[in-house]
Amino acid sequence: MAEAHPPQPPGDLLAQVLEPLLDDYDASFARGFRLLDACPETVLPLDRQQDLLGRLEEARRELGAARALRAAAPTPMALDMAALRPWHALVIEVWGLSAAMRKAGVRI
């Protein structure tokens, strides 16, 4: 028989789920910056690199603001899925860039 554990406060559970997710977004954005530093124009044209760079910079600022707001809030605070959706799209774009660079033989 499984040992019964007292239920966790909702704020603790929220932090256990949300903080690792925010860490993953941060790591993915950092990877995007590293990929762009090594990305040749044959893989991604310069104008698209600059566009992606700008969106990564904006997402990193938004992520920092979200973390600051959560830390300053007197009660546990979640993030709206509408806020996470563009970050998720950026992560997928970074994965695509990584795959394109591997296919082109660019290693970082």
pLDDT at residue 9, as a whole number: 66
Provide the residue ranges of all domains of the chain, joining segments of one domain with +.
26-103
* Helix, strand, coil % in the chain, rounded to nearest 5: 75, 0, 25
pLDDT at residue 43, as a whole number: 98
Closest CA to 39 of 55, 60, 53: 53
pLDDT at residue 10, as a whole number: 61
For residue 91, give both structure tokens: 């992560």
pLDDT at residue 78, as a whole number: 87
75 φ, ψ (degrees, to nearest 5) = -130, 160
> Per residue of the chain (108 residues), what is the pLDDT tens digit?
556 666 666 667 777 889 999 999 999 999 999 999 999 999 999 999 999 999 999 999 999 999 999 999 888 888 899 989 999 999 999 999 999 999 999 988
pLDDT at residue 8, as a whole number: 64
pLDDT at residue 7, as a whole number: 67
pTM metric for this prediction: 0.86
